[in-house]
Amino acid sequence: MLSTDELALLEAIRESGSLSRAAARLGKAPSTVSYAARQLEARFDALLFDRRRYRLQLTPAGHLLAQEAARLMQDVSRLTQRVKQVAGGWEDRLWIVTDEILEFDTLIPVIRSFDALKSGVTLRITHEVLGGTWDALRDGRADLVVGATNEPPVIPGLRWFELGVMDWVFAVSPKHPLAKAKEPLERATVIQHRAIVVADTSRKTDVRGYGVLGGQPKLAVPRMRAKIRAQCEGLGVGWLPRDRVAGLIKRGDLIEKKTVDPREPNLLYVAWRGDHQGRALEWWLAQLQNKRLASRLVRGVEVDATL
Amino acid sequence: MLSTDELALLEAIRESGSLSRAAARLGKAPSTVSYAARQLEARFDALLFDRRRYRLQLTPAGHLLAQEAARLMQDVSRLTQRVKQVAGGWEDRLWIVTDEILEFDTLIPVIRSFDALKSGVTLRITHEVLGGTWDALRDGRADLVVGATNEPPVIPGLRWFELGVMDWVFAVSPKHPLAKAKEPLERATVIQHRAIVVADTSRKTDVRGYGVLGGQPKLAVPRMRAKIRAQCEGLGVGWLPRDRVAGLIKRGDLIEKKTVDPREPNLLYVAWRGDHQGRALEWWLAQLQNKRLASRLVRGVEVDATL
DNA sequence: GAACTCGTTCGAAGAGATCGAACATGTTGT
DNA sequence: ACAACATGTTCGATCTCTTCGAACGAGTTC
């Protein structure tokens, strides 16, 4: 509805303050510009040029058109670039959902590498807790899921591979009553103490945590890092990723306790829908198959007691 | 960069699943549509149509273009309407800033009347406290100011008229120690009690209220209604608009006290920059010159103790 | 296998855009 | 006051782009 030539015409008139000078600037005859100006006024059914004085000028409506059309032209440019990108096999956008179990920071180097490709693909990374990652994939709210726990559910076209194995340790603060309790800890002993669980508090989800016993009081916190901090402070008990608290256990800031009911290590998955797979998704899958990166993701960032 | 005809072409192909049917739908020859399709592909430098099968289809890039172009076309339509509106003498948008002293609710009927004009002018109404209304006008953050207090400052092109006069009453809760104090209240007596002031708490503005004595402790609240409530609850003292608390005083929920230092009534102003005055501004000025409306604005909404 | 449909090619025709020349009008410099 | 220059419009000629019908090759349907 407005070509780059027409926008250029408006801008040339605005900047030069004259139709003749605008024509010279555009390398066109004054009659060409005059004709095009009248065409624009007919098309918009509005007076865009003030011809009452010696020199033609933009009216307020003309100024508005020039200004807003420039912005629209930017939108068109961005769209043109996106169209070429999709035509080139890239996705328009890629939605990645990670389990909260993984630390976002560990993905930063991968994001930087992806940025360096200058693909133009809009990236969005969010996280879910518990079964949320699979739900996101099923509902089309994710193109790629990283670090999903539980067995992969039945989703048409679902493809996946294992990212790694996460080992757990039941740990309490030296200040916690269970620190001195006799091992292995009985269910009845554990259930008397509040469990610290990770929950997405932005959602009013049913707060169920891994390894939490029925009827056990709980404190929900938003991130794994917060859970580790809370347990260090003796606010409750629970299972923690072994690698992330190794230093804390070594320093005595957390005490590992054996339990009658041990927790099996978790298999973490990378999963995606196979039905539409563009170059961005393929790039990310190739990265995630790299064993060193996978290991860094699964091990996470070790938590320091002093922070 | 994309005409309505081109968008229509994309949509016809998408909906009919065939170039020939699209041509029929558009009332054009198939060769015309074929030519235009190739023009589009050249212009976007991208494969928009898949010709490998018997019938032509949109590629993912073609789908993206059709989808996003429809949204862009809506933006263009809206721009076209705005251009006509400005060409017709209306503003593109009107920014009204009121003093917090006025109650927003009293403007609702005027807004409704303005909406009924179907001018297309985007209205934005915000409020400021203290000298903020004049600042907003000077800084170009307001086209029209309603209920400004203080003498109009020196602003080039400033025009104004009086909206009305707001009378004040110094009032305290029956529960407040000053309720039984001997009248007229001395400065030394008043200063010992916390003042309730109205401040725009979204801004870290210097909290200075009207009729607040130097060195007097203060409680800042966001609206006049909140100040009235706070004083009813005995949380502090201060001047209140007489009309808004008339019922509360009558019922004994607030006690009027005479003071040695009385507060003069405030002149409230309507002000605007005269240098660019469109039909929307003119309409609002005409409304505000209506004495009944002006009176309703100045008197405000009486506060009920039970709320 | 005939009849029909699809999309492309190509030359002709139609429509729109561009230009130069001429003109009326306003501004600037002497 | 007037010549020289600048501005924007008008108009017919020309150029460029778009549209179409006819013909064609290839695929689908009955």
Question: What's the Å distance between residue A84 CA and nucleotide C7 C1'?
Answer: 24
> Which residues, 6+ apart, have CB-to-CB distance to B6 below 8 Å?
B36, B40, B69
> Which residues, 6+ apart, have CB-to-CB distance to A25 below 8 Å?
A12, A15, A16
Nucleotide nearest to A33 (CA to C1'): C18
Beta strand ranges found along A103-191 (DSSP E): 122-128, 144-148, 158-166, 168-172
Nucleotide nearest to B56 (CA to C1'): C7
CATH architecture, domain defined by A93-162+272-299: 3-Layer(aba) Sandwich (3.40)
Burial class (CB in 10 A: 0-12, 13-18, 19+), B33: buried
Helix (H, G, I), strand (E, B) or coil at A290: coil
Domain-by-domain residue ranges, chain A?
4-87, 93-162+272-299, 168-256
Is B79's CB within 8 Å of A60's CB?
no
Cβ atoms of A121 and A94 closer than 8 Å = yes
Band of the pLDDT at B160, cuts 50, 70, 90?
very high
Joined together, the tokens standing for residue A30 give 């004054």
| For residue A113, pLDDT beyond 60 | yes
| For residue A307, pLDDT beyond 50 | no
Partner residue opposite A86 with nearest CB, options B1, B61, B86: B61
Is B83's CB within 8 Å of A76's CB?
no
**Residues in chain B, total:** 307
The CA distances from residue B252 to B118, B175, B189, B238, B262, in Å, are 46, 11, 22, 17, 21
Chain A residue numbers with beta carbons less than 8 Å from the beta carbon of B2 are 1, 76
- Give per-residue pLDDT as tens, B191-249: 888 888 887 655 544 455 556 666 777 888 877 888 898 899 888 899 999 988 999 99
| Euclidean distance between CA atoms B3 and A142, whole angstroms | 34
Is B80's CB within 8 Å of A3's CB?
no
| Euclidean distance between CA atoms A163 and B119, whole angstroms | 59
B9 vs A127, residue with greater confidence: B9
What mean pLDDT comes out for the span A44-62? 93
CATH architecture, domain defined by A168-256: 3-Layer(aba) Sandwich (3.40)
What mean pLDDT comes out for the span A84-91? 94
- Give per-residue pLDDT as tens, A125-166: 988 876 788 888 888 889 999 988 888 888 888 999 999 998
Is the complex ipTM more than 0.85? no
| For residue B117, pLDDT beyond 60 | yes
- Give per-residue pLDDT as tens, B142-156: 999 998 888 888 888
Mean pLDDT taken over chain B: 88
Q: Which pLDDT does position A250 carry in this prediction? A: 92
Phi, psi of B286 (to 5 degrees): -60, -45
Is B64's CB within 8 Å of A1's CB?
no
- Give per-residue pLDDT as tens, B268-307: 999 998 877 899 999 999 999 999 999 988 888 777 755 4
What mean pLDDT comes out for the span B62-78? 90
Q: Which CATH class is domain B4-87?
A: mainly alpha
Partner residue opposite A76 with nearest CB, options B1, B46, B84: B1
> CATH number for the B93-166+266-299 domain, one of 1.10.357.10, 3.40.462.10, 3.40.190.10, 2.40.110.10?
3.40.190.10
DSSP state of B185: B
The CA distances from residue A175 to A107, A172, A193, B148, in Å, are 34, 8, 13, 61
> Which residues, 6+ apart, have CB-to-CB distance to B46 below 8 Å?
A83, A84, A86, A87, A88, B61
The reply to whether A4-87 and A168-256 are identical in fold is: no
The residue of chain B with its CA nearest to that of A81 is B44
User: Which residue is the nearest neighbor of D19, CA to C1'?
Assistant: B32
Q: Which pLDDT does position B204 carry in this prediction? A: 46
Q: Which pLDDT does position A204 carry in this prediction? A: 46
> Which residues, 6+ apart, have CB-to-CB distance to B214 below 8 Å?
none
Q: What is the Cα Rg of chain A in Å?
A: 30
